[in-house]
Each structure stands twice: as C-alpha cells, then as structure tokens.
Structure 1
C-alpha cells in the first residue's frame, strides 16, 4: 500500500515497501497486546509469549482472507460464498486457538486460570472476537486499497477512452479538410490556372503542420494562426475577388497555447456555407484575439438565398466534430454560440486557454 506518493527518496521507498508495512504491523500488534495484557501483573514476558503462541494462527487467517477470499469471492461480488467461507475459516481458527489455550497457554503460562471445555461456544465466541481485533485493520486497509485501485482503473479507462475519441475526431478533421482542398486544386488544374502551383505550396505548408505539429495535446497559438493564414490564402486563390474577406488579429497571440485544429473547422465552415449556391457577392469577417488568457473568436459570413438551408448549415462533419472536441478538451472553459439567420451566419467562441 502506498503511504507516500513520492518515490524519489529512500525514506518513501521504505515506508511504501510491502514487507516493511506487514512486519511493522505484526510487531506493533505484539507489543500493543503484550503491554496491554501484561500491565495486569506487570509480567510482560509472559504475555509476549502468549501472543507469540497464538500469532501463527492469526497470521494464517488474515492472509488467507485478504489474499484468497477477498480476490476470489468478495472482489467478484460473490458475497454469499465469501461470508460462508469466511465463517468456516473463523470457526476453524477459533478451534485451533482453543487447543493452544488449553494445552499450551493455560498449562504453562496462565496456570491460575481454569481450563474450559474445547467446544464451549462461549469460549469460541470469545476467540472469534479476539481474532476480530487482529483482522480489523488489515481488512480495512486492504478494502480501501482495492477501492482506490478500482477507482484509478476506472479513471484510467475513462481517460484512455477520451484520448482515443480525441485522436479519432482529430483524424477525421484532417481528411475532411484535405478532401475539400484537393477539390479546389482539381478545379484549378482543370482550368489550367497558374495558381494551382501556389495551391500546392500552401497545401504542403498546411499538411506539414497537420502531420508534424498536431500530434501533441496543445500547440502554440501562433502556429495555429499561421495554419489559418495558409488556409485563407488557399481560399483567396480559389475565389479571388468574389469573396470579401476580412481577417483581424489582436492581443498577445504568441504567449498562449491551444488544442490543435480547433479554430480552423469554424473558418472552413464559413467558406463552405457562404459559397453554397454562390452568387458572387459573398462576405466573411473573422475577428480573433486574446484578452486575459481568453481567446475570443467571432466569425460572420453571408448566406446566399439559394443555399440558406438552416439545418445543413448547422450540421456537417467538421462542425459537429469540433463541438465534440471542445466538450472533451475544454468542458468548463468554453462558450460557443452559433446563430444562423436568413442571410447571415455567425460563430462566437470564448475559450479560456491553459
């Protein structure tokens, strides 16, 4: 059982050592009861010998229960079998103590006491109570240790599940984004546009960021902003002057970190829906800043009349994906408001950065 969490010093290692803990308990038990019973006639040597004679049976019972009955039955919630076998074990050890009491202890050490029948139920109950005193502390400690391990395992499973889900969600974002960008590149190649080379260059920068920078739990906010700039350059090449784009950055970006690929899906979503049923008059405004370690993101975009399907605007793999990631990574540290009107769509995200 771990008493001190630190393992960096020898004292902690000694206290946490299993053998040291067990030997210390039995020494303390012997000394406590030898002094307690010995104070009656101040013959501590005699009471020490009496406790030593009964000690093997007590040790056997304690370790039989905590290392066999507990894991075999109690931990597996086989309560009936555990109670039955524990009762049988207690009775057997109680009878064993009755023999040692009558034929060793009362005969050689406590001659002043009267010998009682071995099968006296009163004496067996007294022996059982006596055994209870030695079992109480090991039983409680073992149960507490087991409960702690179960809770730690449950927390570990939950954490591993969340981490696996986050990896899955992040891996969903990248192919989704890549698919859209490749579509843009394909259309430019078909048109034999010279801008296709610029798209390849910007796309390589984004892919480098996605492959090598987003594997960690957090990245520098500046790197995330740089990836957004590369994405915006791609979209400018794709749409040219047909979209009125405004991108404003304010505050001290460089001193903060953020979970990777959190902001980009919102921006990608704004391009997707401002150009749905594109009529050549689209606009997008992006305002990104930092105030008191809190990221404030405000994105607004136009919605063409031919593409103002509210349900499809609010849905989508990328947007649902990033909502889930926000709930997992920043459960109590973000506020997301999405508003879809007839002719405009807005995203307001306040995110407390670690």
Structure 2
C-alpha cells in the first residue's frame, strides 16, 4: 500500500502543473551540481590560480547546458518529437549533443591560454578526444531523451485522460438519449379520456390528471438522477398500469410485486419503459417482481402477444448494455419478457 502511495506521489510531482516550478528548480539544481563537478574536475590542477573565476566558468558552462536543455524541452520536443518527426528530432538533438563537449573543450583551451596555464590535454587533435566527445555526447543524449520521454509520456497521459472524459461524456449522452419517457401516444390518450369525463364525472378527470402529473413529475425530476429506489420505480409502474386501465378498460392486469426493497437502487424509468413497451401490444398483462440475493427478476407476460418483442426492445437493451454491461439477462420469449438484473444498494 505504501509503495502504491509513493508511486502516486512521484507521478503527481512529475506530471501535475502545480509542481511545475519545483520540478524546474530541482532540474536546475541537478544540472548545476553535475556541471560544476565537471568544471572542478577539468580545472583541478589550477583551481588556486583561477580563484573565483572558476565559478564564472562553471556558471557559463551551466547556462550553456541549460540553454540547450530548454531548447530541447520547449522547442525540439514540441516541434518534432510530439509530431512524430523522430528522425529530425534525433539528428538535431545529436548535433546539439556533439556541440556541447566540443564547446567545453574549446572554452577550456581558451581559458588555459588566457591564464597561461598548462594544458590538461596534451594533443587536442588526438583520436581519443573524438572518442571522449562521442561518449560524453551519448550520455548527454540519454539524459536529454529521458526528459523528452517524460514530456512525451505526460502528453500521452493527458491525451488518454481527455479521450476517457470524451468517452464518458458520450456514454452519458447516449444514456440520456435512451432513458425512457412517457410516450406521446399515452399522454394523448390520457388527456383525451380526461376531457371526455370532464362533464360526466369531474372526479374521474381529476384522478386521471393527478396520476398523469405524478408520472410526469417522476419523469422530469427523479428520472434525471443516475439511480432511484427500486420501490419508487415499482410504485410508478403500478400507477402507470392503473392509469392505462382507466384509459383502456379492456386491459386486464395481474400484479405480483414485492415492494420490500428499501435500499436497492435501479436506473430510473427502466422498468417503466419496459412495461410501457410491452403494454402497447397487449390487452392482458401479468407482472411479477421479486429480489433475491440482490438479483431482481422482473417478468412481463401476456397471452394476447403471439411473438417476441425483440425489435421493440432494442433501445432498452442498448441502455442495459451501457448502464449494466454484463450484470443483466434479458430473456425474450413468445408473449413474455424476463429481466434479471444485479442491483446495488
């Protein structure tokens, strides 16, 4: 657990923008230690003669390295490496890396001539000098590429995060599109029957409008949440069927709903949409619902339906795929639909 936390803290320090200044400070501090160490080694035989001038030489050398490093960090990496121009990046970087040790030798040569000091290197044209330049360049190149790779990984990580956010937003948008709604046909039928009873039986009209307003309120408010209580969903399934029977007296229904699910939650309007889709094709309806071991079994059955409703339930299946993935089973048979769904608390 501690190892995971340490890795998390390290990645946060490397990639988080709020630590950007501290990263540069630490980077410059390391570069200063390495650069001044190289200068002190190069001039160890004449440090007393040079005195404080050796710090000026070290500072100049540090500024040269930092200039090339930040040129690589801010320009070369962004201009070439992040745009998949890898060969151009490697060629330009290698030229810069070869220039740094050559420049250091040239500065050392000039300083020793200026101070009338003995030269540390007897022959500057020796092939061993070329080998030393190449080895120093390769080591420096590895350091520079390491910095570039960190920047490359950070860009890749941020891109992946952005893609993940877009995918989540897309899935959320798809879920909102697929969320069930009270169909216009049902609304029209309910309002039509309410108007028919306005004069004959105003109380019946009030009952229809009251139940309809409760269903619409559930759709407008509760259905906007990611989850709702299973009891609430089942309650509105019952109210929907009751209102449908008011509008379609020939509809026969039989409900066996276990409502003792105080803590279970479900995606809102899911069961209501299933019933609404099923009831369109039916004049008789049997609904049963029970929960066992956090698994909901919801059955819609009708003897007046002679075929499966695969085409009518496409949107419901898509919604189940998005919201519940592999946590559901939707069984379609002649005249019946069974939904088995893993519930959450």
With normalisation by structure 1, the TM-score equals: 0.76
2:74 alignment counterpart: 67
Equivalent in the alignment of 1:326: 320
In the alignment, which residue of structure 2 is the partner of 1:157?
Answer: 166
Show the counterpart of 2:30: 28
What is the SS of the residue equivalent to 2:30? helix
Q: Does 1:346 align with 2:340?
A: no
Quick one: distance in 1 between partners of 2:260 and 2:43? 80
**Match of 1:210?**
219
Change beyond 3 A, Cα 1:269–1:111: same
Say whether the 8 Å CA contact 2:31–2:62 is kept in structure 1: no
Q: Name the CA distance, whole Å, in 2 between partners of 1:118 and 1:178.
A: 89
Contact 2:39/2:58 (CA < 8 Å) preserved in 1? no
- Match of 1:278? none
Name the residue aligned to 2:296.
295
1:302 aligned counterpart, secondary structure: coil
The structure 1 residue matched to 2:248, chosen from 212, 236, 239, is 239
For 2:259 and 2:44, how far apart are their aligned partners in 1? 79
Q: Deviations over 1:275-308 (max 9, x none)?
A: 3xxxxxx2x222223333332222222234xxx3
- Indicate whether 1:230 and 2:239 are aligned: yes
Is the CA contact (8 Å cut-off) linking 1:245 and 1:285 kept in structure 2? yes
Unaligned 5+ segments in structure 1 are 276-281
CA 1:301 to 1:249, structure 2 compared with 1: closer, same or farther past 3 Å? Answer: same
Per the alignment, residue 262 of structure 2 pairs with 254
| Aligned counterpart for 1:188 among listed residues 193, 199, 206 | 193
SS of the equivalent of 1:75 reads: helix
2:147 alignment partner in structure 1? 138
Q: CA-atom RMSD, angstroms?
A: 3.9
Give 2:331's aligned residue: 337
Distance in 2 of aligned mates of 1:15 and 1:107: 45
2:338 aligns to what SS in structure 1?
Answer: strand
Deviates more, 1:179-188 or 1:199-208: 179-188
Q: Residue 297 of structure 2 contacts residue 341 of structure 2 at CA under 8 Å; is this kept in 1? A: yes
d(CA) in 2 for partners of 1:106 and 1:254? Answer: 90
1: distance between equivalents of 2:37 and 2:101? 23
1:217 match: secondary structure: coil
Q: TM-score, normalised to structure 2's length?
A: 0.78
Counterparts of 2:244 and 2:71 in 1: how far apart (Å)? 72
Q: Output one character per residue of 1:150-185: Cα deviation in whole Å (capped at 9) or x when no partner.
A: 211111111111112112222xx32xx231222322
Q: Distance in 2 between matches of 1:220 and 1:294?
A: 14
Task: Quote the offset at 1:327 in angstroms.
Answer: 0.8
Deviation per CA, 1:193-244: give whole Å up to 9, x if none.
744432221111111111122222122223222222221221121233x333
Question: How far apart, CA to CA, are the structure 2 residues paired with 1:76 and 1:225?
Answer: 55
Aligned residues between the structures: 326
Q: Which runs of 5 or more structure 2 residues have no equivalent in the other structure?
A: 1-6, 49-53
Whether 2:293 is the aligned partner of 1:286: answer no
